[in-house]
Copies of this chain bind each other. A is one copy, B any other.
């Protein structure tokens, strides 16, 4: 490791309340809401060095550094964002924001509905990638950021970066879209639906209003996480990490308790997840994934959907990612090239499947680092931010 790679240090989250209603894609509205966010680095005087990081399914605004009251709680993309890191906080002012519908600080199904004084539960509206970008744009307004040097994300976060470039062509200098896709496949939707059925058929789900019953659909949520987790790892990686290794023995015990290491690992992942993640949020976020399909409004023509885009693009995919394989990124590359967009694209030969976007693979991080190094910003200087 390069000794110049440092943590952004202890970080405190901020909350910003928005009292103007947010009209959603579905036609419904949120009358008011809060967004939770963190920032790293300093906004320069020209206000042209801001980078927005959008999160994926189970992440949050806590992108980098650690929480002051819990030094082990390190941000989910800490290897990417920090002083001397690919997204260098010595140069860039980085914002991590928690999306609407989440359970990590922004308004979501477990928040109190001001209309009733009770948790939203099943009454929380369906939110889309488009809605998230809209809410993020309002946050940018509030922070005085007219234009982002970059909007960046992996997986579902990459969809948000793409949506930013479409919705706000003049507010995004660079869109960084990693391990993402312009739309889910039938198989992707199928896995989401299995996860949702596991949750909604759990008797403790109570139609989404389990808060009132002082319970959570823990079992369904654990199964949902297990099936999701399989799709994040590559077959090879799983074979290498777990193979057919038995747990605590080299002999079969012939039963249904944990026998193989992979079973133990998955059960643990599922159970841990079910203790901290909100089931309604899982439903909302998987549904936002399902719905995202910008080409739909242009009869399936992604190039047409991207016609108004002015941002420059950085795209990355990973060879062993079978959730959003390289073909999906190539589809975006092709549609962007038809629009003569400036872009850089790398297919990284990494063994870790979809999860590779979270790992510090040198080729991957080197590519992102070089991309950010050529982003032009005004000199860093003391600012009021």
Please give the residue numbers on chain A whose beta carbons come within 8 Å of chain B beta carbons, in ascending order: 25-28, 125-126, 128, 183-187, 189-191, 193-194, 196-198, 200-203, 219, 222-223, 226-227, 230, 233, 235, 238-239, 241-244, 252, 254-256, 259-260, 262-263, 266-267, 270, 283, 287, 290-291, 293, 296
Contact = CB atoms under 8 A, between A and B. Distances in A.
Nearest to A126: B254
A272 B256 CA distance: 25
A193 B226 contact: yes
12 contacts: A128-B254, A185-B238, A186-B241, A186-B262, A187-B239, A189-B244, A190-B263, A193-B262, A193-B266, A198-B198, A198-B223, A201-B223
Contact of A193 (B28, B202, B267): B267
A194 B186 CA distance: 20
B254 A25 contact: yes
Tell me which of A197, A255, A259, A291 has the highest count of chain B C-beta atoms within 10 A of its own C-beta: A197
A33 B59 CA distance: 53
Contact of A186 (B25, B202, B243): B243
Contact of A239 (B26, B28, B186): B186
A200 B226 CA distance: 14
Contacts of A233: 187
B235 A185 contact: yes
Given A190-B266, A193-B266, A244-B293, A222 B239 contact: no
User: What are the nearest 10 A-B pairs in CB distance?
Assistant: A26-B254, A201-B219, A186-B238, A126-B254, A186-B242, A186-B262, A193-B263, A194-B226, A187-B235, A198-B223
Contact of A230 (B28, B190, B197): B190
B184 A266 contact: no
